[in-house]
Structure formats: structure tokens, C-alpha cells
Chains A and B, each alone.
Chain A
Amino acid sequence: MPRPRTKWTERCVEVTLVVAASTSIILVGLIFLFLFREAAPFVQHPGLSSLMGDRWIPVSFQKEQFGIYPLVTGSILVTAIATVVAVPFGVIGAVYLSEVARPAETETLKPFIELLAGIPSVVIGFFGLVVLAPFVKAAFGLETGLNAFTGGLLLGLMAIPTIMSVSEDALRSVPASYKQASLALGGNQIQTIWRITVPAALPGIVAAVMLGMGRVIGETMAVMMVTGDAAQTTFKPFESVRTMTATIAAEMGEVPFGSDHYRALFWVGIILLVATFLLNIVAQRVLKRYSVRQ
């Protein structure tokens, strides 16, 4: 069937829209491409198996080692702590803002939450270094406050605004008719919130948590400043660790171009990218499953 004739201006608009819409896809593709191009020679020498180790000693007079386990566990540990910290505050805060707070309260609170999201991470890192780390050290009687726990707390703080505002949107979009039905059956406000509104908003809340985790995994500066910068494989919260992002940021500036170390850092980048990619896919899956069940 022949397409109806369109005016050339409409064609132009259409093409512009398609280009704009596909830019993000093209960019992601290019990022993957260049990461792999820089990382690829590592496969022949010294070989991918050298990444599978628990020692990251990229500069050495004896033997350079590129085991990424400590970096991966460092990232996982810090992210897990941050999530545990951020989810209750973020979600309960969102429930308060959307269901309980009077409009005047929301108007006062929201700018502060947005402000928290806008603070440069190096400033938050500075706060962590000067205030939070000494506090953690004193509170738990540790030798140093620069550890995974401090990093997790700090990153949790940074994830709260994301989780809170996305969850709040999800809660606000729950149809008022659900709440009315619950109230008309004699439900009180608490019952209505926890049995109706929050479950109905759950897909959005899960997405909010995933977005928050995405921010935490990718965060670099603050976490580099407070986690102690020690690449060791551990799941103990009070040990010093070093995340994947911090490693790239700290070493990329000084690494000889084209060296094994340089290529190993690109592999770390690829793993980071794949991790956030997977997180997104999981989030989508969860969203879909819940929305089907509803």
C-alpha cells in the first residue's frame, strides 16, 4: 500500500525526531565499542584469566597482578550497605511526603531533598572525611573510620533523594479511588497506606530503589575519599575497601597508555557498565512482572 504523501517539512521533523531519539542508543553503542577496543588486547596478553584473582597489584617490580575480586567485592559491599541505609529512609520519607504531610510541609521539605541531590559528591565526600569517618571510628571503637561502612552510609545519604522522589511519584500516581475504597470500608490512614497504597505503588518503588542503587554503584568521588583505599577482598563492613569506580578514577590518570594496567582498567569499566546494565534489566523485569500481576 502506498504511503500517503507527506510534506517535506513533516519529513524533516520526522527525521529530526528519529535522530534525537536514537542518539542515546548510538551513544551507548559507541561507549561499549570503545571500551572493548581499548580492553581487547588484554585478552591475548596477559589473558582474561589474570583478572580472576584476589590481588590487585597493578604496579610492581616483581609481578603485576590484575585480580579484580577485591574491587568487585568492595563495590558490592558498599552498595549493599548504602541500599540498606537508603531504602527505609527513602521509602518512609516518600510515604510521609505523599500521604501524610500537609501541602505546606511538602513545600518546605522538597527543596531540601532536591538540594541534597544537588550537592557535588566531592563536598559530600569532604563531609564524610571530616565528620562521618571520625564519628564511625569513635562509635564502633575502630582503628580507622575510613572503611566500607562509612562509604555505605555516605552513599546511602546520596541515594535517599533519588529513592524518595521517584517513590513519591509512584505513590502519588496510585488512584485516589483505591484509597477512598479503603477508607469507606472503615480503614484508617495507616491501614490504607500499608495495605493498599504502598503495594499498589510497589513497581515504582522497586524502580526507585534500582535507580538509587545505580547511582551508588556509579558514584566515585565521595566513596574514594572515605573507604580507605585498600583493595582487599572482604565482606566485613569495618574493613577498608576500594570500589571499581575509585580504582579507575585514581589510577587512570597515571597509567602508561597502552600498558596491561591501562587495559585492565578498561575491563573494570566494562564490568561496571555490565553491572549497571543488568541492574536496569532486572528492574524492568520486576516492573513488568508486577504490572502483569496487577
Chain B
Amino acid sequence: MVETGERTSDAKIVVEHLDFHYGSVQALFDVSVEMAPRKVTAFIGPSGCGKSTFLRTLNRMNDIIPGTRVQGRVLIDGHDIYSNGTDVVALRRSVGMVFQKSNPFPKSIFENVVYGPRIHGEKNSARLREIAEQSLQRAGLWAEVKDRLDQNALSLSGGQQQRLCIARALAVGPEILLMDEPASALDPRSTARIEDLIGELREDYTIVIVTHNMQQAARVSDFTAFFYEGHLVEFGETQQIFTMPKKKQTEDYITGRFG
């Protein structure tokens, strides 16, 4: 990999002047932000504010949508992921993603977890079993599924499916974990489990989470970014954003006056 960006800080992810277009519609305007390693950063804002779009620029998942355009830079460990010659496969190995709706493959629990390692060339079955156990342990699902790894993943409950998706993302060994409203489709108990899990994972991973739920952002994150109509309105420590927001818009949103 070519070092195309000078390191300006010890941030894991540095975004500089990012504009994003869907065709002729601009979805993000001049977003600049830094995300610290081994911290949880939450993106909040009303629907359509661009927070999910922004999340998906961090592992280039927007690439698969035809007609999208990116300007600006996204540096991960100092490397601009939009520079020519970036290996998107390698990028997505180091930047895992968990989606809003749990999306396990219609395969067995075991095959779901080892899908990533398999496509990246791991053939040793002992090693694959080891990875599966570690990843499921890490996602807090091992105890519940260890006796039925060859059962279909779709037979799990919604919350278990989402933890399976987290295990699947962890199995390829990422350093960053992107979560797009990972608990929005879950019941309160499953949501609590996911939030606990985020708390445990922050020790080893840089986590970026999009959420609708402001209490959730307040509970799980170290830093919070408030987006509104494609602009990053305010970014800061979660404590400060929720207690002493500097911008009027942030305050209005947090206190529920709009959104």
C-alpha cells in the first residue's frame, strides 16, 4: 500500500472534506471528522441526514450503487482508501460491517461464521473451527449455539442472528467495525445484549455505530457526531454533546424538538 496521506494525528479514521453524490443529488457536504482508535463513535441525526451514507463510505460499500461519486479523502491508518489502486477486498477485511437488518446467509451457523475466512483462502478445517469458536465467543453467542453449529442460521432468533452477523464480521479479523443501526429491529432485551457486546468489543476494535436511538448513543459511545441534511453539524465527546451541545440544532434534536 502507498502512503498517500501524512499522519496528522493518532486517529484511526480521518475524513477530510468529504462530498458524496447519488447521481445529481448531493448527500454529504464537506464532512471532516476524526475517529479515535478503540473508541465507539456514534452517528446520530434524523432519517435521511446522511449518517448511513457516511458510514458506508468508510468501507466503500457505496461503490456497488451505480452513479455515486465521492470527493475528498478518507484516511484509514493514514492511507486514503479512495486513492487509485486501493484493494477494496483488503479494505473490507479490515473494516467489518454489521447491517441494520440481520442478514445471515441461508446456510448453517458454522458456514456463516467461516464464510469470510473461507473466501480469503483458509482451507484447514481445524483452523476454521477454531476461528468459528473464537468469533462466536467474542460475539457472546457460543454458549447458545455450540451444540447446533450445523443448524440453519435462519432458525435463530432475531437477536441471535444479529450476534451471528457480528461473529461473522469478526471472523475475518477486522480492526474497525461499522454498525448500521444494529439493534433497530430487535426487542429491548436483545438490544441490551448488543449494547453490552459493543461495550466489550470496544477494547479491541474501533467501532462506528449509526443509531436512531439517542439513549443508545449516550449509553454506548465515547464520541458522537450529529448529522443534519448531509452536514456534520457537531462532533464531540458524547458527554458534552448530550449535556452541553454547542449548536442550537444539536440541542433541538437531542431535546426532541424536531426529528
Docked pose: A175 CA to B102 CA in angstroms: 12
**In contact, A195 and B119 (Cβ under 8 angstroms):** yes
B101 at interface by CB-CB < 8 Å: yes
For the complex formed, measure the closest distance between the CB of A77 and the CB atoms of chain B, giving whole angstroms: 36
Task: Encode contact with A along B22-53: 1 for CB under 8 Å, 0 otherwise.
Answer: 00000000000000000000000000000000
B96 partner residues in chain A, CB cutoff 8 A: 184-185
How far apart are the CA atoms of A191 and B105 in the complex, in Å?
14
Query: Are B61 and A185 in contact, CB atoms less than 8 angstroms apart?
Result: no
Instruction: Kindly state whether residue A182 has any CB partner on chain B within 8 Å.
Output: yes
Please indicate the chain B residues that have their CB under 8 angstroms from the CB of A191 in the complex.
119
A184-B97, A186-B120, A294-B154 given as contacts; is B105 within 8 A of A196 (CB)?
yes
| CB-contacts of B98-156 with A (<8 A) | 99, 101, 103-107, 115-116, 119-120, 152, 154
Candidates A178, A186, A196, A293; contact of B89 at CB < 8 Å: A186
The reply on B165 being an interface residue by CB < 8 A is yes
Q: Mark A167-178, 1 if CB is under 8 A from B, else 0.
A: 000000001011
Cβ of B2 < 8 Å from any Cβ of A? no
A188-B89 CB under 8 A given contacts A181-B165, A294-B154: yes
A293 to B108, CA, bound (A): 10
Residues of the B chain whose Cβ atoms lie less than 8 Å from the Cβ of A180: 61, 64, 99, 103
Give chain A's interface secondary structure class. Answer: helix
Contact among A181, A184, A187, A188 for B59, CB-based, below 8 A: A184
- Inter-subunit contact A186/B64 (CB<8 Å): no
Residues of A within 8 A of B105 (CB): 178, 181-182, 196, 200
Which of A175, A178, A183, A186: most chain B CB closer than 10 A?
A186
B177 to chain A, nearest CB (A): 11
Interface size on A, residues (CB 8 A): 19
- For A195, the closest partner residue in chain B by CB is B119
> CB-CB < 8 A to A183: which residues of B?
61, 64, 92
Q: Check if A177 sits within 8 Å of B89, measured CB to CB.
A: no
Q: Cβ of B168 < 8 Å from any Cβ of A?
A: yes
Closest Cβ of chain B to A122, distance in Å, is: 43
A200 proximity list for chain B (CB < 8 A) = 105-106
How distant is B94 from chain A, measured CB to nearest CB, in Å?
A: 9
Known contacts: A180-B64, A294-B154. The answer to whether A186 contacts B115 by CB under 8 A is no
For window 73-102 of chain B, which residues contact chain A by CB distance below 8 Å? Answer: 89-93, 96-97, 99, 101
When A and B form their complex, which 3 residue pairs have the shortest distance between CB atoms, in order from nearest? Answer: A177-B103, A184-B97, A294-B106
List, sorted by A's number, 27 A–B pairs whose CB atoms are closer than 8 Å.
A175-B103, A177-B101, A178-B106, A181-B99, A181-B104, A181-B165, A181-B168, A182-B105, A183-B61, A184-B59, A184-B61, A184-B92, A184-B99, A185-B92, A185-B93, A185-B96, A185-B168, A185-B172, A186-B93, A186-B119, A186-B172, A195-B115, A195-B119, A196-B105, A199-B107, A200-B105, A293-B152
